Amino acid sequence: MQVDLIIRGATFPTAPGADALAVHCGVIRAVGNFSELQGLIGPGTDVLSLEGKAILPGFIDAHTHFVRVGLERTFYVDLSDAMSLDEALARLRQAAQERQGAWVVAQGWDESRWPERRLLERLDLDRAVPRQPCCAVRVDGHLVVCNTLALARCSLPEGELVDRGLGHLREEAAWELLEAILPDRTTLVEAIAAASRHAAEIGVTAAAEMSGKPEYVRAYLHALEEGKLKTRVFLYIPLEHLGEARALGLRRGFGGELLRVVGVKAYVDGSIGAHTAALSLPYRDQESRGTVLLDIESLARAWRKASHAELQVAVHAIGDRAIAAVLRAAKLAGISRYDRHRIEHLELPTEEHLERMEELGLVASMQPNFVVNWSGPGKLYEMRLGAERDSRIDPHALVLKHGIPLAFGSDGMPMGPLYGLSGAVSPPHEVQRVSLEDAIEAYTVGAAFSLFAEGELGELAPGKRADLVVLSADPRTTPLEEIRVEMSFLGGEVIFRR
Ligand SMILES: [Zn+2]
């Protein structure tokens, strides 16, 4: 037998001892020594020598917002290099003229760099963009300023997160608005194409789209048809659409090689940054404990319905009180470990929670980049929670110790496995630390398991799809920060080459 492609000369950190890999018809046929694989070379075989490089299975981002990542790269007006408030407004004015009648969404403004030294406000935006909705995300992502037309789309009441006078929306109020802005189909398809190109550049060959709302699903289908999707996307449908999914008989696995349904996504709390993650004890810098957004009975009921429809449930739960609520709902629903239901983020579990997760067969879907971004002395988690709680946040090591399946993802903050992995390999706190081998596993085969795809993805082994990432150096001997992605393959096809 002859094969399409042989890669030789590289190291294979997840297949120690191997120095070559054979691919045929998009599938890995053999991994081993070049001397053993030579017999597979025929006249039509490409032989690629990658001396000094390291090859891993393509990374699988188990939790991201793929369309949003794309929109950030295509649709949003970039204000990050605007050097004054007036310059920012001039750019918005121009974008409004180019996009008559459509939303103008901007990002990246930073008043600390401006001579005016003040935040953008509703009336500024009204002056620049009077006749179409316009909003602009501050550089930190935690504040969105809206003009009057955009603000009308915000359904939340005036309060800590909403200041209608200034047109300021914070945290969840900001996310809600950004999710409500629906660009047209062409824009969404282009965003998906851009997200897919970006994913290939950072070695991500498969990703879970956690906001699989109908408009996005439609855009994905168009992107697929137009050949613009070069990433395997696994869809999570918002819980409010569970009824439609069941009515259609959708189950996990519906779809194909590049786009398929896995389950539904539910929210039980918010985020630590916004003081909305549900904690058992108050925040350090505010007299509140956050809110559990979904009562246990409703969650259990939805869980039973989803399980019956063979849809996996992925539940967002960050604070210890939210995690406890999810575990009670899981028990009440009588979930089966074979359905591999997931808890998303799982930032502040106790040992007892982890014991129960193991008993129930729940999967931990975690984002090591959160550690990089926000954990450690002087950072956001310490400010919000105090040093003690910060020291036991995102406990990847305890999750593994309890035998809980671990899947890594990014939540798109930012997407980038090499960046995220260092939050698990060299974190500020011991409970966060896992071996490089375990961290890579969580970002490949662990993520695949959480998506019911470990039979085809996540490993360099015969029979698995040839989704590969070529790194500039071996992460076992070179610090992650110094490593770049050189090439990515999807089903044996080169989708990125530096
Ligand atoms: Zn998310």
One digit per residue, pLDDT tens: the chain, 498 residues? Answer: 899 999 999 999 999 899 999 999 999 999 999 999 999 999 999 999 999 999 999 999 999 999 989 998 899 998 988 999 999 999 999 999 998 888 999 988 888 789 998 999 999 999 999 999 999 998 777 789 999 999 998 888 888 789 999 999 987 788 788 878 878 899 999 999 999 999 999 999 999 999 999 999 999 999 999 999 999 999 999 999 999 999 999 999 999 999 999 999 999 998 888 788 999 999 999 899 998 989 999 999 999 999 999 999 999 999 999 999 999 999 999 999 999 999 999 999 999 999 999 999 999 999 999 999 999 999 989 999 999 999 999 999 999 999 999 999 999 888 999 999 999 999 999 999 999 999 999 999 999 999 999 999 999 999 999 999 999 999 999 999 999 999 999 999 999 999
Same domain, 440 and 484: no
Give the closest residue to 264 by CA, choosing from 330, 320, 227, 309. Answer: 309
Å from CA of 345 to ligand 1 middle: 8
In a domain, 69, yes or no: no
Å from CA of 410 to ligand 1 middle: 8
DSSP notation for 391-438: TTSS-HHHHHHTT--EEE--TTTT--HHHHHHHHHS-SSGGG---HHH
**Domain count of the chain?**
3
Which SS3 state, helix, strand or coil, does residue 243 take? helix
Same domain, 377 and 445: yes
Å from CA of 47 to ligand 1 middle: 40
Å from CA of 288 to ligand 1 middle: 23
Which SS3 state, helix, strand or coil, does residue 241 take? helix
Same domain, 151 and 221: no
Å from CA of 71 to ligand 1 middle: 15
Å from CA of 209 to ligand 1 middle: 9
Å from CA of 344 to ligand 1 middle: 8
In a domain, 463, yes or no: no
Same domain, 33 and 166: no
Å from CA of 350 to ligand 1 middle: 22
Å from CA of 411 to ligand 1 middle: 5
In a domain, 130, yes or no: yes
Å from CA of 336 to ligand 1 middle: 24
In a domain, 409, yes or no: yes
> Phi and psi for 56 in degrees, rounded to 5?
-120, 160
Distance separating alpha carbons of residues 3 and 243, to the nearest angstrom: 46
In a domain, 16, yes or no: yes
Same domain, 239 and 325: yes
In a domain, 62, yes or no: no
Same domain, 330 and 237: yes
Å from CA of 408 to ligand 1 middle: 12
Å from CA of 65 to ligand 1 middle: 6
Instruction: State which of 180, 213, 229 marks the end of a domain.
Output: 180
Å from CA of 269 to ligand 1 middle: 12
Same domain, 189 and 169: no
Same domain, 33 and 142: no
β-strand 162-163 against 168-170: which pairing, if any? antiparallel
Å from CA of 175 to ligand 1 middle: 11
Same domain, 392 and 490: no
CATH number at residue 408: 3.20.20.140
Same domain, 370 and 450: yes
CATH number at residue 130: 3.10.310.70
Q: What is the pTM of this model?
A: 0.91
CB 466 within 8 A of CB 28: yes
In a domain, 320, yes or no: yes
Å from CA of 64 to ligand 1 middle: 6
Å from CA of 240 to ligand 1 middle: 16
Å from CA of 193 to ligand 1 middle: 20
Same domain, 170 and 197: no
Å from CA of 257 to ligand 1 middle: 23
DSSP notation for 147-205: -HHHHTT--SPSSSSEETTTTEEEHHHHHHHHHH----HHHHHHHHHHHHHHHHHTTEE
CB 409 within 8 A of CB 196: no
* 232-238 sheet: strands from edge to edge: 59-64, 204-209, 232-238, 259-267, 312-317, 342-345, 363-366, 406-408
In a domain, 66, yes or no: no
Q: Which string of b and e fits 213-239 if b means at least 16 CB within 10 Å?
A: beebbebbeebbeeebbbbbbbbbbbb
In the beta sheet, which residues pair with residue 261? Answer: 235
Same domain, 452 and 383: yes
DSSP tally for the chain: helices H, then strands E:
19, 22
* 493-497 sheet: strands from edge to edge: 54-57, 468-471, 485-490, 493-497
State the sign of the Cα–Cα–Cα–Cα dihedral 199, 420, 406, 314. Answer: negative
What does the chain come to in residues? Answer: 498
CATH number at residue 34: 2.30.40.10
Domain of residue 390: give its range: 185-458
Instruction: State which of 180, 196, 229 marks the end of a domain.
Output: 180
Instruction: State which of 180, 213, 241 marks the end of a domain.
Output: 180
